[in-house]
Structure 1
Amino acid sequence: MKIVFAVDGSAYTRHMLGYVAAHPELVGGGHEFIAVHVTPEVPPHAARHLPKDVLNEYYAEEAEKVLHPVREFARMQGWTLRERHAVGHPGDKLADIVNEERPELLLMGSHGHGAIAGAVLGSVSARVLSRTKVPALLIR
């Protein structure tokens, strides 16, 4: 089974990974896990003043900050893990990757802002769920 972990480096990501590790009945063994991280894009008005190599290095460093602990956790669990990184709006880019990968399950940690905050701020989870047709498990 192919399972995508949406990871952002927050406590919610750590909680999601811990929950999955503590509940192997959710996913069983021998699956392909894909950790996906989306780094928000530097606003264009600021990005145009930065050399492209500096900007790319920033994006790579931000991704590594998030993906390194996930990689280590997966190694300790004995999980097969592949990593994907994109730059842009997290909800849109994550949905694009999920649609491309076509996993059997998407796992996301939910920040749990609630209905009003989610409507005002927008929710990555809600955006991804509205743009994909993959079974998803939100862990809060």
Structure 2
Amino acid sequence: MKILLAVDGSDYTKRMISYLGAHRDLWVTGHAFTVLHIVLPVPHRAAAFAGPDIVHAYYEDDARVVLEPVRAQLAEQGIAAEVVHKVGHPADEIASYAEKGKFDLLVMGSHGVGALKNLVMGSVATKVLAKCTVPVLLVR
């Protein structure tokens, strides 16, 4: 099974990885994992002012800050994964990547790092559920 793990570095990302490790018999053996992190785009005017080198460095740094701890936690759980980051709006990019990559399952935390929280689910999780045709497992 091809499994996509959408991560943002939040506590819910940590819970999701812990869940996978705690249920190794169901999730880890025989599956191919890809970790996806979406970096929010720099506004057009700011990007034009800063220049492409600074913007690119920002994207790489943002991804590194999120993905290094995720890699470490996955390693602790014995989960090998390909790691990818993209620039864009999280819900759109996650749903698109899951479908284009022909993943069998998308796993993500129910909430992210956003300042505004919905009562039941985060706004990105809600939008991904609405847009994505790939089955989604939300970990709370």
Q: Structure 1-normalised TM-score?
A: 0.88
Tell me which residue corresponds to 2:73. 73
Tell me which residue corresponds to 1:114. 119
Bigger mean CA deviation after superposition, 86-95 or 124-133: 124-133
Structure 1 residue ranges, 4+ long, deviating more than 4 angstroms after superposition:
none
Conservation of the 8 A alpha-carbon contact between 2:28 and 2:79: no
The 1-side partners of 2:67 and 2:28 are apart by: 22
The 2-side partners of 1:26 and 1:103 are apart by: 17
Shift of 1:103: 1.2
Tell me which residue corresponds to 1:59. 59
Tell me which residue corresponds to 1:32. 32
Paired positions, count: 135
Structure 1 regions of 5+ residues with no counterpart?
Answer: none
Q: Matched residue of 1:113: which SS?
A: coil
Conservation of the 8 A alpha-carbon contact between 1:31 and 1:79: no
Residues 28 and 79 of structure 1: CA distance in aligned 2, closer, same or farther (over 3 Å):
closer
Q: Matched residue of 1:103: which SS?
A: coil
The 2-side partners of 1:53 and 1:28 are apart by: 38
Q: Structure 2-normalised TM-score?
A: 0.88
Q: Matched residue of 1:36: which SS?
A: strand
| Identity over aligned pairs, percent | 42
2:28 corresponds to 1:23: no
The 2-side partners of 1:11 and 1:17 are apart by: 10
